[in-house]
Structures are given as C-alpha cells and as structure tokens.
Amino acid sequence: MKKISLIFPLLLLFIFQINLAQEKTKIKIERAGFFEKDKIKYPDASVLTRDNKNQVLISHDGVLMSCNQAFFYEEKNFIEAYGDVVLKQGDTLDLEANFIEYNGDSRIILAKGNVILNEPESKLYTETLSFDRNKQEGYYTNNGKLIRNSTDTIISVIGTFYAEEKKYRFKKNVDLKTPKYEIYSDLLNYYTESGKSYFYGPTDIYTDDSKIYCEIGFYDTTNDNGYFIKNSEIDFEEYKINGDSIYFNKLTNYASATNNIKILDTINKTLTTGHYAEIYRKSDSMHIKKRALISSFKEKDTTHIHGESIIITGKEGEQVIRAFNNGKILRNTLSGKCDSIHYDQVSGIAQLINNKNNLLKKSRKIKKPILWNNKSQITGDSIHIKFDTENNIIDSLYVFDNAFIIEKDTLDLAYNQISGKKLFGNFIEGKLKFIDIIKNAESVYYLRNSENELIGIDKSKSAKINILIERQEIETFTKINQIDGKVFPEEDFNENDRFLKGFYFREDERIETLEDLFKEDIKYELIKINQLQN
C-alpha cells in the first residue's frame, strides 16, 4: 500500500506537467474597428476590420501584428491577416506583407505578397516567406533580394534567415553586388551586422581590376578584404596568383598567399612559385619565400632563378629581382650558385654575389660564386651575366677578380685550368663561344692528338688568353704576351704543378635539374590550412 500511495502522486504530477506543456497561449485581439461573425460565409472565423483611424491590432507571445482586415479562427488559434500587414517581434523581427497567416500553436508565420523583412542594417524583399518563431528562422524558396546599407545587394533563388545570428544563408544563383565588386556563388552565408560573407562551392568575385575564384572563402564588405581557400586564384590585370590560401585587401591593394603558390606575370613573362608570398600592388613589389623560384620564359630558353627568399620590385620592363640565401640560376646547359643573385631588367645584368660575412667564416671552406657552362666550371669573386634584353638571349659574361676555369680533359683523367684577374665571355645564339682571360693569366692544359693520346702538358703564364669553345668544350686557347711556359712530357711534370693556385673543383654541387636548385635550402613545413568556420 505504501508503494501505491507513493506512485500515485508522482503520476498525477507527470500528467499535470504534460497538460502544462500542451497548453498553448491564445491569440489576442487587441483592437478592431468592426467585428463580424457570419456562420454561413465564415463558419469558423470572426472577421475583424479596421476603422478610419486605426488598423486591426493582434498580439501573441511578444508579437504584435497590425492589418486592415483579419480572419480569426479562435478554435484553431489561427489568424489570416490582409492588407498592409506589419508583424513585429521585439527587435528581432519586423515583417511587412500583403497577407500573413499565423498559427498560435505552432508559432509559424507565412507571409505572401510584397514581403519585406526589416532589420536595422538590411531589408529582404521576396514574394513568400515562412518564419518559425520557435527556431527563429525564416526561409524563402522562390527568389529574394537583400539590400544592406543601400550598398550591398544580394539576390538568390533560395534563402534562410537566422534571426538570432543576424545571418542569411543564400542558395542557388547567388549574386552579391557592391559598388566595388560582385560575387557569384551557389552557397553564401552573409552577416548583416558585419557585412561578412562566407561562400562554399565554386565562387567568382569581380572587382574593377581583378577576378577572384575559390571554392571556400569569405569577404568582408565593410573593410574590403577577403580570404580564399581551395583552388583559390586572383587574376589581376598584370598577373595571376594561385595558392592553397590567399588573403586580399582591396583598400591597400595587398595580397598574401600560402602553400603551392604560382604567380604568372603575362606582361613580363615570368612564373614565380613558392610556399609563401606577399604582393604589394601599389609599390609594384612582391616577396616570395620557401622554395622560391622565378622562371622567365621571355627567352628561347627559360631562365630559372632561385633563392630561399626572392624580392621582385618595379614596373613592366623595369623589374629588379633579388634572390637571397642559396641563390642559384639554371638556363639550359648554363647553371650557377652563390649567396645572392641581383637581376636588373633595364641593364639586363644578373649579378652572382657572395656575402662578405660568409667569405670571412673560418668554419667552412670559402665558396665563391660559380657557373657551370657545359663541361666548364667558372668561378670568381663576383660573376655578372648580361642578357640582350631586345632579343631576349644571353649576350655576355663577366667575372671580376680571381677568375678561374676548370674543365676535365677529354678522357676525364686530369683537369685543364685557366686563371687570371678577370674574365670576359661572349655568347653566340645563347651559347658561350669566346672567352678572354685578362691580366696575370695562367694555364695548365693537357695536349692530346687526334687519337686522344697525351702528347704533353702545357703550363704557362701570359698577359692574356683567348679561348674558343666548340662542341661544348674548349677547342683552342691562344696565349698573348706569354711570359714563360713549357710543354712537359707527362713523366717530367711535377705533381705539385698539376693544379694552379686556387684550384677547387666542385662537380658535386653542379646544378642540372630544377630539383637541384632547392638542395641545401633550410628545411620547412607547409602551414596547415584550416577550413573556414562561420
């Protein structure tokens, strides 16, 4: 008996709670000029009509609705409002329409005809809108137009309004227009307070001088900046940027890109790649890091310049390229390396330079700037390569101070060597043809006959040496104003004389492929690109 008496009150309490949950607040008629009840015409409804002064006023759970005429179905807790209908729910909902249905039990609103949803920052125009007061969400499915601050206009086939977040989700044929740009997407989330828009799926953004594409991204219409990921691309008038993620600020004309970057300059005909880049359009400059490479395809043969960091400045035809740290260059059979490369498009000169501080380090062997041309290794304190900017081909070569050429002899058994104060070289049709070694010229050269038999070793000093290159190797060299010299039989040639002072053969550093350009770079990790959350 005690158990039964305990269960019974609990059961009554449970039933009472269910009844409370099922009890619905009734729609209340606050004001009506005329009241009509016609059981023949409107058997379940009361007809409420405005007078000359006031509209009909209806309330329910924090909602006030005014109209010219209303049909009130009291038993169903349902109302139909006609003519200049305005429904207000505090500060979260302000709805205008020709007709509104409202169900007091489900708290669902259906508005039709010239519907306007008002917010402090925006107005939505559509023909039909449903709004669920329980979820505080509204939607339309047959075209709508949102106007924010009289500047941003968005049209779409489908739209959902989230009142608490002050957010819209637009779907299908979305078109966002502002005075400065236009966005086309199939799915776009838009915040009316901040003016930020997030898009998912193929999206095109047009400005007065650029086109942007991405499949995930956002744009801030208030501050005119955006962030784009997944197949992102910005196409400016002068170049095109691709990257895993791109940030763009329209006000400052600044862009930055991260991971798998490609910057195609169609005017200067260059392709710049890397894993981080900053572009400053106002100052015509960009900075690229992490596997940085700029490839110029103006010429018949593409020229590649690498550095762990590359800075490019200047307008069309006036660009200056600076590659810092582990600078390297590759063009067909010509390649080279140094600490940094400086290329001036106006003069057409590419300088291969070593940092003086690095040269003074005692912890490693001093490595001067170096070039490999086919079988020849050329070094010096600084190396300049001059391009014929009119015909877009290499024109000449200058090596300043401590010029040194090393080339394995025909059978790769010894080293032909020529050194001097300076080196001047001329290219014919892009190939190094003539070389002059000037001042304090010295040479060690292995002489062979037509059967490649060694006939002697020439060691000499002279004021100048002229070199002719054929078939990618030294064909002849002519000594001018020879000071001394002699051809030695191999058995009489002193072992200590086989190498000129400063000899340093660096074949293991030779650059032959694009991948070789990135050897010795500082290790790095790609930045993780996070998905956009909104």
The count of other CB atoms within 10 Å of the CB of residue 346 is: 11
Q: Is the pLDDT of residue 110 over 70?
A: yes
The count of other CB atoms within 10 Å of the CB of residue 85 is: 28
Read off the pLDDT of residues 137-153 as tens digits, 9 standing for 90 and up. 999 999 999 999 888 89
Structure tokens at 231: 């197949």
In the beta sheet, which residues pair with residue 33? none
121-131: average pLDDT = 95
Check if 24-118 and 368-511 are the same fold. yes
How far, in Å, CA of 215 to CA of 211, rounded? 14
Higher-confidence residue of 117 and 478: namely 117
Quick one: which of 337, 376, 331 has its CA closest to 472?
Answer: 376
pLDDT of residue 433: 85
Higher-confidence residue of 491 and 75: namely 75
75-79: average pLDDT = 93
pLDDT of residue 8: 45
0.85 exceeded by pTM: no
pLDDT of residue 210: 87
Phi then psi for residue 229, to 5 deg, are: -135, 170
User: Which helix H or strand E contains 472, and what residues bound it?
Assistant: none
pLDDT of residue 447: 85
157-185: average pLDDT = 94
How far, in Å, CA of 39 to CA of 47, rounded? 11
CATH architecture of the domain 24-118 equals Sandwich (2.60)
Give how far Cα 158 sits from Cα of 87, 201, 311, Å. 22, 16, 47
311-315: average pLDDT = 92
How far, in Å, CA of 182 to CA of 12, rounded? 63
Structure tokens at 479: 């000594």
pLDDT of residue 233: 93
CATH architecture of the domain 368-511 equals Sandwich (2.60)
163-179: average pLDDT = 93
421-441: average pLDDT = 87
How far, in Å, CA of 71 to CA of 25, rounded? 18
Q: Strand locations in 75-224, DSSP E? A: 78-89, 93-103, 108-118, 122-132, 137-140, 144-148, 152-156, 158-162, 167-177, 181-191, 196-207, 210-220
**What are the extents of the domains in the chain?**
24-118, 368-511
The answer to whether the CB of 211 falls within 8 A of the CB of 203 is no
**Residue 515 exposed, middle or buried by CB count within 10 Å (0-12, 13-18, 19+):** exposed
The helix/strand/coil state of 463 is strand
Higher-confidence residue of 356 and 453: namely 453
Which range (33-47, 189-203, 505-519) has the least confidence?
A: 33-47
DSSP 8-state secondary structure symbol assigned to residue 489: P
Read off the pLDDT of residues 327-386 as tens digits, 9 standing for 90 and up. 999 988 889 999 999 999 889 899 999 875 554 444 445 578 999 988 889 999 999 999
Higher-confidence residue of 195 and 10: namely 195
pLDDT of residue 366: 58
Show the CA angle centred on residue 309, arms to residues 304 and 312, nearest 5°. 70
Q: What is the DSSP string of 192-261?
A: TTT-EEEEEEEEEEEESSEEEEEEEEEEETTTTEEEEEEEEEEEESSEEEEEEEEEEETTTTEEEEEEEE
Question: Quick one: CA dihedral 120, 122, 125, 131, positive or negative?
Answer: negative
Higher-confidence residue of 157 and 391: namely 157
Structure tokens at 431: 């190939």
